[in-house]
Every structure is written in structure tokens, then in C-alpha cells.
Structure 1
Amino acid sequence: MTINKKFILGLSLSLAVFSMNSANAQDTRFTKKNPDKPEASEFWDPEVKVVTPGAVPSDAIVLFDGKSLDGWESAKDGSPAKWEVKDGVFTVGKGTGNISTKQHFGDCQLHIEWRSPIEPETLKGQQKGNSGIFLSGIYEVQVLNSYQNRTYRNGQAGSIYKQTPPLVNATSKMGDWNVYDVIYTAPRFTINGGIETPGYVTVIHNGIIVQNHTKIQGMTNYIGQPTNPVHDVKGPISLQDHGNLVSYRNIWIREI
């Protein structure tokens, strides 16, 4: 079988043109991905939201205004919170039970200040200034008088209770105020009850990082290993009545 030389020549030219076009197409794609103008990789819209910083950021939700606990309720039965409010501070009343915010929150930045009472030296360990801050109502960041007061590592102030000890002990002495700034990412669950993404928490205690994007292993149980019940992304912020006269003030939260 003979092959027409003109046909071969035409085919060769067609292939050459196709190759050139392909190369140009590749060059165009490459140029689009790697533009030679700096503005091509700049993003202008939507404009970044403006937040005015300060003692309370302009977009924060104030959870305690120094006057009342109207935004809080009994964690047990939803009745009005019974902790004492006085001089811009509220203090747990022995036997009054845990309290929770009426509003629920997911991922957030929480600012909260707490003070352990001046108690006798006969009290030791977990007996001294014990309370707790519960994220989603179930994950406890420990509140405790850990100033010259030894206890188990994963139960002192700044710990994720019974899970992760703080990196350092930054606790103020009895009667002085402590400041927690907490960044919380709530866990997400699959439709069949598995963990899609775990929860994480960062805790800055008196200006010092004591939990650095720490994975929450599950509920902070007093006895036994952490458990992972499925729950909504949003839940209350709860404060614990552990029988000590722990006080709180200046509480605000930013949803993120």
C-alpha cells in the first residue's frame, strides 16, 4: 500500500500546529496560575470586619455586666441563678449548684476573671478554691487555688480536667484575681455518632499560654476515661459550684 506524500506532509503540519496550540494553551494556564502582576493575587472583597479593641471588644457579648445574673440560670433545672452578686462580682454560694448561660455558643473566644478565696492552710489540694469553667457545658477548664498548693497535675488550675495538665503554673496567690482567655473550637460529629473533628482549646492564664491548641479527648469525667456523647456544636458556658467561695467578674465572649 502506498501513502501519498502530500497526505504525510499535511498530517505532519497539522500535528505541528496542534503541538504549538497545546503549548500556548499550557503557557496561558501557567500564566493564569502565576501572574506577573502583584495585584492578581490580592483579595479586596469582602472587606475585613472592623472590631474596636479594648477592655471589652466592640463585637463581644457581655455575659456578666457587674449587676445581675439575668443571663444565667441553674444548670440543673433552668431556675434563676442563685449565686451572690455584690460590688461588680458574683460568688458561688455553697450548695446553690452549677450555673449556665442561657445563650449557647460554639467556637468562641472567652474572657473570664476569677478569684479564689483566702482559706485556711488546713485545706489542701482540691479542697482549695475549687470551681470550673465548662465549655459546651461539658468540657472543664479547671479553676483552683494552685498557688503553692500541690495536687495532681491534670487537676490544677489551667488544666483540661483529668486530661491535660497546664504547661506551667501561672496562678495568682489567694485573694488575687486570675485571668483566663480561652479560645475554643467545638467538636463536630458524623451522622453515625463518630467524631468528624475533635474539639480544641487554648488557654492563656494571666498572660501566659498554659494550653496550646490542646485536643479535647472527650467529656472531662471525674471518674473514668473521657467519653464522647454526640452534642450540638453550640452549648452553654457553665460555672461549677464545688463548695468553695470562688468569685467571678468581667466575663465576655466573642463568637468566631
Structure 2
Amino acid sequence: MLWFKRPAMAQRVSRDKSRRMRRILIYRYDPERSAKPRIENFELDLNQCGPMVLDALIKIKAEADGGLTFRRSCREGVCGSCAMNIDGQNTLACTRPLASCGDLIRIYPLPHLQVIKDLVVDTTHFFAQYAAIKPWLSTQTPAPADRERLQSPDERGQLAGLSECILCACCSTSCPSYWWNGDRYLGPAVLLQVWRWIMDSRDETRGERLDAVEDSFRLYRCHTIMNCTQTCPKGLNPAKAIAGIKRMLMERQL
């Protein structure tokens, strides 16, 4: 059972020990109705809800407020659609357990992106930056006629921790440098993908890829704050990838 914005009822149900209540504050913004965002308060019984924050949002939308807007798809931490800020950390709602949250749960959209509605942000620029780095295999020699381009297990191992990125934008939107310079700084998610293609043994355009990011803004706005690595819901290390790009650029000047 779910209640919406009724403090008196919240006080009554808190005395019922059979219920595991959580208070959830959700950022709401609908530009068609009001120019001002607001915070709305919901009470949720965890005994009547699935285990993840996404389950709570789905239940609130189904039973309390059908206008609540958020993205979601796979519910398995693969698509990255439900990326949002939960209790001050960018993460995926589908993999964040309610049990790991406190009695008060604060849910906001990803920071420093334009909010379209409620928890949905505009990722157009983010994916345009991703497309700009040419995230596909680029070669100069003809492809073998009778087989794929092969990699050894060790060569494929160089991509571990890189190809698993789901482009949820949690890392980039946690980076202060990306907040202030997002128009020119590529950000940790995109630079992780740059490193992924640089390290792919089948790719034959390493020099061109390095040239494309050797810039005081595109790459060197990274100041190794490490927010990106701390918040990645997949446990990846964008800061290490960025350091690898910087090191390779330095080595080729020696």
C-alpha cells in the first residue's frame, strides 16, 4: 500500500511495526504546467514493493501519480536508461537496493543536464560527443575475405573494463570539469571509449585518435578528481583510462 503526501497518515502508519516505511522525496518538473521545479513527498511500504529504487518509482507511478516521468528499460543494469541521482550519488535506479538507502530517500535527475521532465534529462549533447570520436573499428587494410579480424586472448583482455561501459552518463555528470566545460571537454564516459578503441588491437587509427583528443579542453580539463570512478555503477575506472591516454600522448613525444 502506498500513500501520497499525507503527514498525518504517515505518523499513524509509523507506529505499525509490521510495515517497513520509507519516505521518498522526488524532484518534479513539468515545463508545460509550471516554470518552477518542486519536490514531492511519498510514503512507501517496502513490504508491498520490489527491492530496488526503480521498483519504488514504478509503484509510485502506478498507484499514486501516473504523471511521474522517468526512463527505464532493461531493469538489469545493462541499458543505462534509469540513471539518476539517488541520495547524492549518480547511479542506476534498477541496481540500487532500497535496503541500502536510509529512511529518507532523495531522488533527483542527473545533475548539470537540462531537465526535460521530472527525472528525464536531455542527453543529446552527450551522445553527440560520443558519436564524434568515431566509436567503431577503423582500419586501413582490407578485411580478410574468409574470416573476421582476429584477436588473441591477451589482446581481448586489454579491453576488459572498457567495453562494459553502458553510456549511462553517471560518470560524466558527476565530474565538475564536465559541468563547467561540457561544451568542449569530452568527459570521462566518452574518453573511456576513446581509450577502448585506442587499445583495440584490430583498430589501425591509433595516431588519428590520439590527435583528435590532444587538446587543452577535450582531454586536459580532467584534473583527476576521481568522482567518475567512484560513481560508476558498473565498477569501471574512467580516470585510469584518461591517464592512459595522457601517458600515451606523452610517450609519443619522447
> 1 or 2, which has the higher strand percentage?
1
Bigger fraction of residues in helix: 2
Q: Which of the pair has the greater relative contact order for Cα pairs under 8 Å at 6+ separation?
A: 1
TM-score, with structure 2 as normaliser: 0.21
TM-score, reference length from structure 1: 0.21
- Higher Rg of the two aligned structures: 1
